[in-house]
Amino acid sequence: MLNHRYLITILLSLFSFQLNAQTLSDKSFISVLSCGEGNELYSTFGHTAIRVYDSLLQTDIVFNYGTFDFNTPNFYIKFSQGRLPYMLSVTSFENFVAEYRYEGRFVYEQILALSTEEKENLYNLLIENYRPENRYYAYDFFMDNCATRVRDIINKSLIDRTFFIETNSDTNASFRNLIYPYLESMLWWRLGIDIVLGMRCDHHASNTQYMFLPYELMNQLDTITISGKHIIEKKTMILPQTKEPLPKSISPTLLAYILLVIVLFAGFWEYKTKKYFKVIDILLFLVLSLLSLLILYLWFLSNHYTTKFNLNLLWANPMFIYLLLRLQKSNLYIIIFLLSCSGIVLLGFWFLPQAFNPAVFPICLIIVVRMLHLLRIKKQKNFKG
């Protein structure tokens, strides 16, 4: 997920800045930096950081909550389990912008309309967060990330007022639907994300929860007013978006329907010739077994909030492991059980409390076709494998 350019940027940002609480001058401002999406999955949702500028103090630095240490022991295990500590890092504004210029991603700056005391509060809170004992935090993509941290620390710095008032509405989008626009050119990643995210991702997000996405935070900052005054003094495009769009690939849904046609044709041929194409079920059950183990791992052995209570376990069922080992000798009731589970997903595709990826529909049809074929084999017992 991480390319070498991103690694270099992170290493640059980890140089130790000696920051101490100090009084900002009247030539200072604090702004929110909102960065465009990149071509890699880790960057496709954009990024948010805070800039502190003071011409008299010759200070121009960026506080970045989106970094982590590659030298963390068991890095990939902790990452998959949601236990990898993220941290607040500080870099120069020049270095921060250089990375986004190189990748062709936009950077917008919104200068916050803060009082002198509020600027002092925010700067000192950032410095306090940057202390070695405070800079690490338990990252959560939806609930606690680079954008939500910026939102929360700004609100904490305010005096007798708040920028962000939480409201809920049934018309609000779900967390899952909020991320879909960012995955339009990454349909295979969307399939993978839909498979590992459970029911919690389908809850309606409040207006403040929308701000886990940097672009949503930027948009809401543009529109919020207090006593008729905007909370943003000035908005500037630092860099335009110049990156090339990702090339289109075959849709996983289309491929799944093509495989369904192949499986239907193979099943018809098996019926006519009384043969059993065992390799089809071996490959199918193997993939489904591996997916079930991944879902169970993320559900029970990780700290990821949104991978719990995952109804994809109905069709990517761990009982396929048993079926993979037994095939023609499998228990009749296990086959009926797995057939029923896929049938539940097909019948409840639009009203179950969890949204499914469009590719799951033809996948479930493939499972139903193969389960019906196994039932026929169990009944007739004269198929040759």
Task: Indicate if 256 and 217 belong to the same structural domain.
Answer: no
Note the pLDDT of residue 4. 38
pTM, 2 dp: 0.88
- Reading the block at residue 247, the tokens are 């090339």
Q: For residues 207 and 209, give the distance between their C-alpha atoms in angstroms, rounded to a whole number.
A: 5
Q: What is the mean pLDDT of each run of 10 residues along the chain (385 residues)?
A: 41 52 87 94 92 95 88 73 87 95 96 96 96 92 95 96 89 95 94 96 96 97 93 97 88 97 95 90 97 96 93 97 85 93 94 96 97 85 55
234 bridge partner residues: 111
Task: Indicate if 73 and 162 belong to the same structural domain.
Answer: yes
Note the pLDDT of residue 18. 60
**Residue matched to tokens 């543009």:** 222
Residues in the chain: 385
Domain count, the chain: 2
Task: Indicate if 267 and 301 belong to the same structural domain.
Answer: yes
Note the pLDDT of residue 385. 53
- Among 203, 229, 216, 232, which residue's Cα sits nearest to residue 48? 216
Residue 195: CB partners within 8 Å, gap ≥ 6? 291, 294, 295, 312, 316, 357
Note the pLDDT of residue 313. 97
Question: Does residue 181 lie within any of the structural domains?
Answer: no
Query: What is the torsional sign of CA 72, 74, 76, 78?
Result: negative
Query: What is the torsional sign of CA 139, 94, 62, 219?
Result: negative
Task: Indicate if 258 and 152 belong to the same structural domain.
Answer: no
Parent domain of 221: 4-167+206-239
Query: What is the torsional sign of CA 89, 92, 93, 94?
Result: negative
Question: Does residue 221 lie within any of the structural domains?
Answer: yes
Query: Measured over all CA atoms, what is the biggest interatomic distance in the chain, rounded to whole angstroms?
Result: 89
Provide the CATH number for the domain around residue 140. Answer: 3.90.1720
Task: Indicate if 81 and 221 belong to the same structural domain.
Answer: yes
Q: For residues 211 and 225, give the distance between their C-alpha atoms in angstroms, rounded to a whole number.
A: 17
Task: Indicate if 19 and 104 belong to the same structural domain.
Answer: yes
CA 68 to chain CA centroid, Å, is: 17
Q: For residues 85 and 110, give the distance between their C-alpha atoms in angstroms, rounded to a whole number.
A: 28
Note the pLDDT of residue 168. 87
- Reading the block at residue 63, the tokens are 């506080």
- Reading the block at residue 16, the tokens are 């130790």
Task: Indicate if 16 and 158 belong to the same structural domain.
Answer: yes
Note the pLDDT of residue 6. 43
Tally: H helices and E strands in the chain? 13, 9
C-beta separation of 89 from 67 below 8 A: yes
